[in-house]
Amino acid sequence: TQWVYNFGGGSAEGNTSMKNLLGGKGANLAEMASLGLPVPPGFTLTTDVCTYYYDNGEQYPDDMNDQIEKGLSHIEELTGKKFGDPANPLLVSVRSGARASMPGMMDTVLNLGLNDETVEGLAKLSGDRRFALDSYRRFITMYSDVVMGVHHHTYEDILERHKDDQGYMLDTEMTADDWDVVIKDFKSATKRALGRDFPQDPMEQLQGAVDAVFGSWMNERAIVYRRLNDIPAAWGTAVNVQAMVFGNMGDTSATGVAFTRDPSTGDNRYYGEFLINAQGEDVVAGIRTPQTLTKVAREEMGDDAPSMEEALPEVYTQLAETFVTLEAHYRDMQDIEFTVEEGKLWMLQTRTGKRTARAALKIAVDMAEAGQISQEEALLRVDPMSLDQLLHPTLNPDAPRDLVAMGLPASPGAAIGEVVFTSDEAETLSKAGHKVILVRVETSPEDIHGMHAAEAIVTARGGMTSHAAVVARGMGTPCVSGAGDIRIDYDAQQFSVAGRTIKKGEIVTVDGATGQVFFGAVEMQQPELSGDFAKVMKWADAARRLGIRTNAETPLDVQTAKDFGAEGIGLCRTEHMFFEADRLGYFREMILAEDKEGREAALSKILPVQREDFAAIFRIMGDLPCTIRLLDPPLHEFLPHTEADIETVAQSIGVPAKELMARATDLAESNPMLGHRGCRLGISYPEIYEMQARAIFEAQKAVAEETGVTPVAEIMVPLVSSAKELEILKGKIDAIAKDVGALDYIVGTMIELPRAALRAGDIAEHAEFFSFGTNDLTQTTFGLSRDDAGRFLPDYVSQGIMEKDPFMTLDQDGVGDLIQIATERGRKTKESLKLGICGEHGGDPASVEFCHRVGLNYVSCSPYRVPIARLAAAQAAI
């Protein structure tokens, strides 16, 4: 088996299509090498090694070590250096690289191969002993931390103490003699902590680092990250061993990260940060404040330090050319890591750049309009769920505000919440329903759960490519990074800035688009849905076959959904209309009435209000179809439950409390979800449905007269399990229609019970349409209740019994089968049968794809999901 793949010197054994085997980093290093870009030579240990390692009790394949030695020879040939040779030492980095990018989750070791002898060789060769020692101390710190498990604080403390003693502010003030002292202390610290010496044998160092990278695949934060991002543990990571290049060789050396376009806005201009005389992770770690890449960016930020364009103009030009090459090759925005060694550019990584939703839209549209990608590709480039970020409010620019701090606009969006200072607390409070803003000096991979729970993140340190910024953009969470003026006191649980103190629990507003933090809650405004968003939606509408409707009943929701592009209402739940104060009284009267006359008298008081409800909806929707579901929940839901409530209600409707109590007890069910609800109410109390039908038809007539447009009413009967139920109820609805002289209407049913799905052939005799109520259909198919499933669903998901929560994403195998059966049987009876879905699943992209595949006519979802469903339906059709 080939466990090792070489790259470098203008060619490579791998390429970008081999991500599964080589990991993202390894595959792209190989690709860049083949493109002739300057990539330090190296080799990749495949993800198969990782799988083998974990399948075989953490043992490596027998033939791997030979291959590693050949890999090292390959690097030695290309660099003319030798691993472990004191006269001419080769140093390498050992870098993790999984299939899916997991930024900062796993470990990297730089400068490996240094020891007390080779460091002197490096000093001689470079003519710079200080540089060699700087590299060595970095190596000891990283290796001890990552491989040997001694926390890097141990070494940072030693360094800080030394700097204090000498009165230094910056690491760059350290002389070679200073480093000699510090390195000696570092080595003793390792020995003290572990009882053994820092390893001097480069091969032993390499083995240790490889073990550590494979081991880091199973560390806590990697496991959490995989869980949050749906990355299977079985994928494994690859390990890249690569010749070191040095960004810490003086003022013509540097290291940096860049994006070929702005990952925040999507603007087509280079974007990045770099540090002169620095190595690797200095940029991301936020230890020094990085400088800008371009002159324009420096001017905009009012930065004093020169940009790379100004400080290193020649390498900058070469870098910019490389951006063009890479974008043209990958046909997408790239996220790049590079190092400059004494004026020479080296490429260390490229990958498709993570971006905000807004940037994703802009980049897709720009690239399609420039002819770089097709319109279809552009549609596929935008994650439907990410659109959610764009649909939500931003700060109202005219609203009064009280600025407390200013940092970098690291991830856009606005949020309001209580200040918290630890990730654990962020998680706990958010679980308890609080909205929290996580405020940290800086974040690290251990903070993932807190960042996930927070509405927004604020850090005191770190740049636009700091951990907080990168992760927040990926999550779509607003973030302000590097708010340098705030002083956080973790012990006192507060931060202070410009003479003010903000304590834990106080409310702040964060605007990630401007980098501002305000005291208190600032008023928000509705999003702007024009521009790129409108374009992508237009393209999506042209590409999709599925219709998109909404689940809405209040005029506000109906209007919102229509503005978002809903082509009708797929589910208007009429019971919500009964819960408003005055009607609830009438409705309770109806429930308490002794006989049909009494019930009709009470219902006749509800009729005019209900008619007005429907009229309001019809007015907004014009000639778009409106599916109105007749009353569904069991009656006892409308009655008061506590003794005090019963007392008040009894008084207000003028019945003895005892009687009310008795009726409530009478209506109580042990299993209301499977009880007297839906069409079963209509069968027992037809006057309820008759009143609702009348209200619908009368509203329709009134609005038609008023506007000249005839509303399209689709009356939906819930919880049907047999054709007979629907036949009886449809008969009653038709009779009312005749009585009123109804205009345009059809009658159909929800399919939300397995029996209804199976008997769809008969049911279709009486229905013009079916709407799959997948919430109930999921409950009844699995025989589990949504309200109780929370206790055990997580176990089912974690033990792999269910892949996902079936209430979030449709169970295509089981529930999906029923949908397919009902579709076939229903259409066999009635070819013109209209089919839709109106559960929560209507707005879940994977479920939308399923609905497209089985040939439904439309999906219906909550208003804010409408744009998501439009795009998902287009992607399904492409």
Residues binding Mg ion (CB under 5 A): 337, 349
95 binds ligand ADP (CB under 6 A): yes
The smaller minimum CB distance to Mg ion, of residues 284 and 391, is found at: 284
108 binds, among Mg ion, ligand ADP, none (CB under 5 to 8 A by kind): ligand ADP
Closest distance between ligand ADP and the C-beta of residue 285, in Å? 10
For residue 748, count CB atoms less than 10 angstroms from its CB and return exposed for 0-12, middle for 13-18, buried for 19 or more. Answer: buried
**Alpha-carbon distance values, 711 to 27, 497, 556, 756 (Å):** 57, 58, 18, 29
Q: In the 8-state DSSP scheme, what is residue 842?
A: G
108 binds ligand ADP (CB under 6 A): yes
93 binds ligand ADP (CB under 6 A): yes
Per-residue DSSP letters for 576-630?
A: GGGGSHHHHHHHHHHHH-SSHHHHHHHHHHHHHHHHHHHHHHHHHHTTSEEEEEP
Interacting residue with ligand ADP among 8, 14, 104, 445 (CB under 6 A): 104
134 binds ligand ADP (CB under 6 A): no
Closest distance between ligand ADP and the C-beta of residue 249, in Å? 11
348 binds, among ligand ADP, Mg ion, none (CB under 5 to 8 A by kind): ligand ADP
Half-sphere exposure of 771 (CA within 13 A, CB side): 35
Closest distance between Mg ion and the C-beta of residue 348, in Å? 7
502 binds, among Mg ion, ligand ADP, none (CB under 5 to 8 A by kind): none
> Cα(764)–Cα(171) distance, rounded to whole angstroms?
78
Closest distance between Mg ion and the C-beta of residue 301, in Å? 24
Q: Which residue spans within 603-710 are E strands per DSSP? A: 625-629
Assess contact for 344 and 335: CB atoms under 8 A. Answer: no
552 binds ligand ADP (CB under 6 A): no
The smaller minimum CB distance to ligand ADP, of residues 72 and 382, is found at: 72
Assess contact for 210 and 146: CB atoms under 8 A. Answer: no
The smaller minimum CB distance to ligand ADP, of residues 110 and 379, is found at: 110
R_g of the chain computed on alpha carbons: 33
847 binds ligand ADP (CB under 6 A): no
For residue 493 the two structure tokens come to: 């649980």
Of residues 485 through 504, those in contact with ligand ADP by CB under 6 A are none
Interacting residue with ligand ADP among 24, 40, 71, 413 (CB under 6 A): 40
The smaller minimum CB distance to Mg ion, of residues 323 and 769, is found at: 323
**Alpha-carbon distance values, 467 to 188, 238, 411, 449, 853 (Å):** 31, 22, 12, 14, 40
Contacts of 526 (CB under 8 A, 6+ apart): 393
The smaller minimum CB distance to Mg ion, of residues 337 and 557, is found at: 337
The smaller minimum CB distance to Mg ion, of residues 349 and 778, is found at: 349
Binding mask 291-330 for ligand ADP (x = CB under 6 A): ----------------------------------------
For residue 566 the two structure tokens come to: 């809903």
> Cα(773)–Cα(304) distance, rounded to whole angstroms?
61
Binding mask 268-287 for ligand ADP (x = CB under 6 A): ------------xx------
> Cα(853)–Cα(845) distance, rounded to whole angstroms?
12
328 C-beta neighbours (distance < 10 Å), count: 9
Closest distance between Mg ion and the C-beta of residue 38, in Å? 17
Assess contact for 537 and 871: CB atoms under 8 A. Answer: yes
Closest distance between Mg ion and the C-beta of residue 465, in Å? 10
Long-range contacts, stretch 730-738, CB < 8 angstroms, 24+ apart:
730/766, 730/767, 732/682, 732/686, 732/689, 732/690, 732/693, 733/689, 733/690, 733/693, 736/690, 736/693, 736/694, 736/697, 737/693, 737/697
Between strands 291-292 and 92-98, the pairing is: unpaired
Using CB under 6 A as the binding criterion, the count of chain residues that bind ligand ADP stands at 17
93 binds, among Mg ion, ligand ADP, none (CB under 5 to 8 A by kind): ligand ADP
110 binds, among Mg ion, ligand ADP, none (CB under 5 to 8 A by kind): ligand ADP
Closest distance between Mg ion and the C-beta of residue 824, in Å? 51
Handedness of CA 120, 126, 129, 135 (dihedral sign): negative
689 C-beta neighbours (distance < 10 Å), count: 21
Question: SS3 sequence, 356-419?
Answer: CHHHHHHHHHHHHHCCCCCHHHHHHCCCHHHHHHHHCCEECCCCCCCEEEECEEEECCEEEEEE
The smaller minimum CB distance to Mg ion, of residues 180 and 281, is found at: 281
Per-residue DSSP letters for 262-279?
A: -TTT--SS-EEEEEET--
The smaller minimum CB distance to ligand ADP, of residues 258 and 723, is found at: 258
Assess contact for 419 and 503: CB atoms under 8 A. Answer: yes
Residues taking part in catalysis = 467, 838
Q: Which residue has the tokens 């819960």?
A: 579
104 binds, among ligand ADP, Mg ion, none (CB under 5 to 8 A by kind): ligand ADP
Binding mask 328-367 for ligand ADP (x = CB under 6 A): ---------x-x--------xx------------------
> Cα(805)–Cα(798) distance, rounded to whole angstroms?
11
> Cα(311)–Cα(3) distance, rounded to whole angstroms?
42
The smaller minimum CB distance to Mg ion, of residues 339 and 349, is found at: 349
375 binds ligand ADP (CB under 6 A): no
Binding mask 230-269 for ligand ADP (x = CB under 6 A): ------------xxxx---------x--------------
Assess contact for 8 and 41: CB atoms under 8 A. Answer: yes
The smaller minimum CB distance to ligand ADP, of residues 40 and 570, is found at: 40
Closest distance between ligand ADP and the C-beta of residue 343, in Å? 15
Closest distance between ligand ADP and the C-beta of residue 140, in Å? 16
Which single residue brings its beta carbon nearest to Mg ion?
A: 349
Closest distance between Mg ion and the C-beta of residue 257, in Å? 8
The smaller minimum CB distance to ligand ADP, of residues 40 and 640, is found at: 40
The residue ranges that bind ligand ADP (CB under 6 A) are: 40, 93, 95, 104, 108, 110, 242-245, 255, 280-281, 337, 339, 348-349
